[in-house]
Amino acid sequence: MRIGYARVSRGDSQEVQAQVEALKAAGCERVYTEEASGGRWDRPELHRLLDHLRPGDILVVWKLDRLSRSLKDLIALLERIEGAGATFESLTEHIETRSPAGRMLTQMLGSFAEFERAMIRERTRQGLEYAQSQGRKGGRRHKLTPAQRALIVRLVDSGEQKAADAARSFKVSEATISRILAEHRQESRKGKS
């Protein structure tokens, strides 16, 4: 039986449906879907799939990094698949583990995926360090300008508006308003000490 596994990262804007359709078009009778990081080992649907593998089954993914982004984990997963008497296939890279050459190519591509992930982490770290050296902090930019933030503090502290009303007025969440007020209070305490 051809069994598919589709995964997107949690919080990503990616859709799993395109992967599911590709897996079904490739003859997968059953498809397990998951929203989790490929770098994490605790993926319940993947483990459920692995527990259901039988001799002769083929675990199919749309792309190799959907199974794992770590070479160590990829090799462990491939060994578990092989231990169940099943094989692995990746549609995008056109690789499979039914042959020795296919197994070698799978491991090589896993190495490249791990290298690419390490390079992204390194570039991100360097970018953050550079931004800090320039006096900037990492993370998303504020939704509100400093003037809008000051206005919110004034309106809520004076009692002209409740936090919920300010959130609706400025089209942000109440949590954002609470965070702005907390930051203002913390800065006020620092200024007094």
From the list 9, 37, 68, 133, the catalytic residue is 9
For residues 117 and 110, is the Cβ–Cβ distance under 8 A?
no
- Name every residue whose Cβ is closer than 8 Å to that of residue 117 and which is 6 or more positions away in sequence: 39, 69, 70
Chain centroid to CA 21: 21
Q: Name the E strands within the chain.
A: 2-8, 30-35, 58-61, 87-90, 95-96
111 in catalytic set: no
* CA–CA distance, 138 with 127 (Å, rounded to integer): 9
Residue 166 corresponds to which tokens in the numbers above? 């300010």
What letter represents residue 21's amino acid? E
Catalytic residues: 9
